[in-house]
Amino acid sequence: MPLVSKYLLSFTAVSLRAYETEIIANLYRESFDWDSVAKNVIDDDALQKGTIATRKREFVEFKRRLQSLTQEQLAYYKNATSSDVKNLTMLSCFKLYTFISDFVIEVMRNKLLLFDFQLINSDYEAFYDSKRVAYDNLNKISQSSRYKLKQVMFKMFEQADFIDSVKNKNIQKPYLSKELIRLVVEDDPKYLKCFLCSDGEINEHIKRYK
Protein backbone atom coordinates (compact mmCIF):
# COMPACT_ATOMS: atom_id res chain seq x y z
CA MET A 1 0.00 0.00 0.00
CA PRO A 2 1.27 3.52 -0.77
CA LEU A 3 2.47 5.53 2.20
CA VAL A 4 0.34 8.49 3.21
CA SER A 5 2.86 11.06 2.09
CA LYS A 6 2.71 14.00 -0.25
CA TYR A 7 5.05 16.12 -2.28
CA LEU A 8 4.29 19.84 -2.31
CA LEU A 9 3.62 20.43 -6.01
CA SER A 10 2.40 24.02 -5.96
CA PHE A 11 5.55 25.27 -7.72
CA THR A 12 3.53 24.95 -10.92
CA ALA A 13 1.87 28.24 -9.95
CA VAL A 14 5.04 30.21 -10.68
CA SER A 15 8.42 29.33 -12.20
CA LEU A 16 11.75 30.56 -10.78
CA ARG A 17 11.16 34.31 -11.24
CA ALA A 18 14.40 35.19 -9.45
CA TYR A 19 14.17 38.92 -10.14
CA GLU A 20 10.66 39.17 -8.68
CA THR A 21 11.72 37.04 -5.72
CA GLU A 22 14.57 39.45 -5.05
CA ILE A 23 12.16 42.42 -5.08
CA ILE A 24 9.85 40.68 -2.59
CA ALA A 25 12.78 39.67 -0.35
CA ASN A 26 13.97 43.28 -0.22
CA LEU A 27 10.44 44.56 0.44
CA TYR A 28 10.20 42.18 3.37
CA ARG A 29 13.53 43.36 4.77
CA GLU A 30 12.21 46.93 4.80
CA SER A 31 9.32 46.09 7.13
CA PHE A 32 9.67 42.47 8.32
CA ASP A 33 5.91 42.36 7.89
CA TRP A 34 4.44 39.93 5.38
CA ASP A 35 1.05 41.67 5.47
CA SER A 36 2.72 44.89 4.33
CA VAL A 37 4.57 43.02 1.57
CA ALA A 38 1.33 41.36 0.45
CA LYS A 39 -0.31 44.78 0.13
CA ASN A 40 2.61 46.05 -1.97
CA VAL A 41 2.59 43.04 -4.28
CA ILE A 42 -1.13 42.25 -4.54
CA ASP A 43 -2.95 45.54 -4.01
CA ASP A 44 -0.33 48.03 -5.20
CA ASP A 45 1.02 45.75 -7.96
CA ALA A 46 4.70 46.25 -7.04
CA LEU A 47 5.73 43.65 -9.62
CA GLN A 48 3.48 45.18 -12.30
CA LYS A 49 2.19 41.80 -13.43
CA GLY A 50 -1.07 39.94 -13.82
CA THR A 51 -4.55 40.18 -12.41
CA ILE A 52 -5.23 40.42 -8.69
CA ALA A 53 -6.13 36.71 -8.64
CA THR A 54 -2.83 35.83 -10.31
CA ARG A 55 -0.87 38.09 -7.98
CA LYS A 56 -2.49 36.46 -4.96
CA ARG A 57 -1.77 32.94 -6.19
CA GLU A 58 1.83 33.70 -7.06
CA PHE A 59 2.50 35.66 -3.87
CA VAL A 60 1.62 32.59 -1.79
CA GLU A 61 4.48 30.70 -3.47
CA PHE A 62 6.96 33.60 -3.35
CA LYS A 63 6.27 33.96 0.38
CA ARG A 64 6.56 30.22 1.08
CA ARG A 65 9.88 30.06 -0.76
CA LEU A 66 11.39 33.01 1.03
CA GLN A 67 10.17 31.77 4.41
CA SER A 68 12.14 28.56 3.85
CA LEU A 69 15.40 30.53 3.89
CA THR A 70 17.37 31.46 7.00
CA GLN A 71 17.40 35.12 7.96
CA GLU A 72 21.01 35.41 6.83
CA GLN A 73 20.21 33.84 3.47
CA LEU A 74 17.25 36.17 3.06
CA ALA A 75 19.42 39.18 3.89
CA TYR A 76 21.96 38.15 1.26
CA TYR A 77 19.53 39.11 -1.52
CA LYS A 78 20.51 42.72 -0.88
CA ASN A 79 24.14 42.23 -1.96
CA ALA A 80 23.98 39.09 -4.10
CA THR A 81 25.15 39.07 -7.71
CA SER A 82 22.60 38.22 -10.39
CA SER A 83 24.01 34.69 -10.46
CA ASP A 84 23.65 34.26 -6.71
CA VAL A 85 20.14 35.71 -6.80
CA LYS A 86 19.22 32.80 -9.08
CA ASN A 87 21.02 30.35 -6.80
CA LEU A 88 19.38 31.75 -3.66
CA THR A 89 15.99 31.44 -5.29
CA MET A 90 16.74 27.88 -6.36
CA LEU A 91 17.86 27.13 -2.80
CA SER A 92 14.48 28.30 -1.53
CA CYS A 93 12.80 26.00 -4.04
CA PHE A 94 15.01 23.05 -3.08
CA LYS A 95 14.13 23.56 0.58
CA LEU A 96 10.41 23.91 -0.06
CA TYR A 97 9.73 21.50 -2.92
CA THR A 98 11.28 18.10 -2.19
CA PHE A 99 10.08 16.86 -5.57
CA ILE A 100 12.56 19.23 -7.23
CA SER A 101 15.47 18.60 -4.85
CA ASP A 102 15.00 14.83 -5.08
CA PHE A 103 15.07 15.01 -8.87
CA VAL A 104 18.23 17.12 -8.93
CA ILE A 105 20.08 14.89 -6.44
CA GLU A 106 18.88 11.50 -7.63
CA VAL A 107 18.87 12.14 -11.37
CA MET A 108 20.87 15.21 -12.42
CA ARG A 109 23.68 14.90 -9.88
CA ASN A 110 24.07 11.17 -10.44
CA LYS A 111 24.22 11.66 -14.19
CA LEU A 112 26.83 14.39 -13.82
CA LEU A 113 28.98 12.21 -11.58
CA LEU A 114 28.92 9.60 -14.36
CA PHE A 115 29.88 12.26 -16.94
CA ASP A 116 26.44 12.00 -18.54
CA PHE A 117 25.47 15.60 -19.22
CA GLN A 118 22.13 15.25 -20.99
CA LEU A 119 18.71 14.77 -19.50
CA ILE A 120 16.21 12.80 -21.54
CA ASN A 121 12.48 12.41 -21.09
CA SER A 122 12.83 8.85 -19.80
CA ASP A 123 14.95 10.18 -16.90
CA TYR A 124 11.96 12.15 -15.71
CA GLU A 125 9.47 9.34 -16.32
CA ALA A 126 11.59 6.82 -14.43
CA PHE A 127 12.00 9.25 -11.52
CA TYR A 128 8.27 9.98 -11.41
CA ASP A 129 7.34 6.31 -11.47
CA SER A 130 9.86 5.52 -8.73
CA LYS A 131 8.20 8.05 -6.41
CA ARG A 132 4.60 7.01 -6.93
CA VAL A 133 4.78 4.30 -4.26
CA ALA A 134 5.92 6.64 -1.49
CA TYR A 135 4.10 9.80 -2.57
CA ASP A 136 0.46 8.97 -3.05
CA ASN A 137 -0.56 12.33 -4.50
CA LEU A 138 1.51 11.55 -7.61
CA ASN A 139 -1.02 8.82 -8.40
CA LYS A 140 -3.96 11.19 -8.22
CA ILE A 141 -3.06 13.97 -10.61
CA SER A 142 -4.13 14.14 -14.23
CA GLN A 143 -1.84 13.55 -17.18
CA SER A 144 -1.94 17.26 -17.99
CA SER A 145 -0.92 18.17 -14.42
CA ARG A 146 1.85 15.61 -14.57
CA TYR A 147 3.10 17.21 -17.77
CA LYS A 148 2.93 20.67 -16.19
CA LEU A 149 5.10 19.52 -13.26
CA LYS A 150 7.81 18.53 -15.71
CA GLN A 151 7.35 21.62 -17.88
CA VAL A 152 7.62 24.12 -15.00
CA MET A 153 10.46 22.29 -13.25
CA PHE A 154 12.58 22.19 -16.40
CA LYS A 155 11.77 25.85 -17.05
CA MET A 156 13.10 26.62 -13.57
CA PHE A 157 16.28 24.69 -14.34
CA GLU A 158 16.73 26.71 -17.53
CA GLN A 159 16.13 30.01 -15.72
CA ALA A 160 18.66 29.06 -13.03
CA ASP A 161 21.25 27.87 -15.59
CA PHE A 162 21.12 24.26 -14.38
CA ILE A 163 20.47 23.27 -18.01
CA ASP A 164 21.34 25.10 -21.20
CA SER A 165 17.75 25.05 -22.47
CA VAL A 166 14.47 23.21 -22.04
CA LYS A 167 14.90 21.92 -25.58
CA ASN A 168 18.40 20.46 -25.26
CA LYS A 169 18.48 19.75 -21.51
CA ASN A 170 22.26 19.69 -21.22
CA ILE A 171 23.18 19.74 -17.54
CA GLN A 172 25.30 22.67 -16.33
CA LYS A 173 26.86 22.97 -12.90
CA PRO A 174 25.95 26.35 -11.38
CA TYR A 175 28.62 28.67 -10.01
CA LEU A 176 28.21 29.54 -6.32
CA SER A 177 30.10 32.36 -4.68
CA LYS A 178 32.10 31.67 -1.50
CA GLU A 179 29.56 33.65 0.50
CA LEU A 180 26.62 31.59 -0.74
CA ILE A 181 28.50 28.34 -0.13
CA ARG A 182 29.10 29.49 3.44
CA LEU A 183 25.42 30.30 3.91
CA VAL A 184 24.43 26.87 2.62
CA VAL A 185 26.99 25.02 4.75
CA GLU A 186 25.97 26.87 7.92
CA ASP A 187 22.33 26.02 7.21
CA ASP A 188 22.64 22.40 6.00
CA PRO A 189 25.47 21.13 3.77
CA LYS A 190 23.17 18.53 2.21
CA TYR A 191 21.78 21.27 -0.02
CA LEU A 192 25.13 21.49 -1.80
CA LYS A 193 24.11 18.22 -3.46
CA CYS A 194 21.28 20.17 -5.07
CA PHE A 195 23.92 22.40 -6.63
CA LEU A 196 25.53 19.29 -8.13
CA CYS A 197 28.57 19.25 -5.83
CA SER A 198 30.42 15.97 -5.39
CA ASP A 199 30.92 14.44 -1.95
CA GLY A 200 34.57 15.51 -2.05
CA GLU A 201 33.63 19.12 -2.80
CA ILE A 202 31.03 19.11 -0.04
CA ASN A 203 33.54 17.79 2.50
CA GLU A 204 36.01 20.51 1.50
CA HIS A 205 33.35 23.20 1.90
CA ILE A 206 32.37 21.82 5.31
CA LYS A 207 36.00 21.93 6.47
CA ARG A 208 36.29 25.52 5.28
CA TYR A 209 33.04 26.96 6.60
CA LYS A 210 31.85 24.83 9.52
pTM: 0.94
pLDDT of residue 74: 97
pLDDT of residue 121: 92
Domain match, 21 and 52 both = yes
Helices (H), 76-177: 82-96, 98-103, 110-113, 121-131, 143-159
Q: Identify whether 153 is part of a domain.
A: yes
Q: Identify whether 200 is part of a domain.
A: yes
pLDDT of residue 148: 96
pLDDT of residue 81: 96
Three-class secondary structure of residue 159 per DSSP: helix
* Stretches in the chain below the pLDDT threshold 50: 1-4
The total of structural domains in the chain comes to: 3
Domain match, 53 and 112 both = no
On whether the CB atoms of residues 59 and 41 are closer than 8 A, the answer is: yes
pLDDT of residue 2: 40
Which tens digits make up the pLDDT trace of 160-176? 999 999 999 999 999 99
pLDDT of residue 50: 84
- Most distant CA atoms of the chain, gap in Å: 49
What domain range is 190 assigned to?
178-209
pLDDT of residue 5: 77
Residues 137-141: contacts with CB within 8 Å, 24+ apart? 137/6, 137/7, 137/9, 138/7, 139/2, 141/9
Which tens digits make up the pLDDT trace of 121-163? 999 999 999 999 899 999 999 999 999 999 999 999 999 999 9
